[in-house]
Structure 1
Amino acid sequence: MQHNPAHTRRCKSCDGFPTVAITTGARHRDGSCVTIRVTCPGCNGTGHATLARAAVTVGK
């Protein structure tokens, strides 16, 4: 099933890649790299942007 791009908005901050693994440069005792996982603060790790509500002024 393909998603309709008109209904799906990617996050501007992460461009749809909400979680990344970053290598710290250190190594574990078994020789594997120490990594940390970081999620996008703009979309809270969903990869999708929320639609902004428009403010409407009513009256004079």
Structure 2
Amino acid sequence: MPQHAQITRVCRDCDGFATAAITTGTRHRDGTRVTLRVACPACEGTGRTAPAGVVRAGR
């Protein structure tokens, strides 16, 4: 069955996976790991890019 074209533009840098949880190696008192949530700097954590006509240019 043919696939339909994707309407939303996915970020080229993160491929739509805008946030990642990174473990630091240390643990909390209850035994769970300490994690950091990091957002993609290109799309600012949305996973999508704005169309070229919408982006504002200038100072």
Q: Same fold (TM over 0.5)?
A: yes
Aligned length: 50
TM-score by length of 1: 0.73
Cα offset for 1:4?
5.2
What percentage of aligned pairs have identical amino acids? 60
TM-score by length of 2: 0.74
Q: Distance in 2 between matches of 1:24 and 1:12?
A: 27
- RMSD of aligned alpha carbons: 1.5
Structure 2 residues not aligned, in runs of 5+: 54-59
Structure whose alpha-carbon radius of gyration is higher: 1
List structure 1 segments (4+ residues) > 2 angstroms apart after TM superposition: none
Structure 1 residues not aligned, in runs of 5+: 54-60
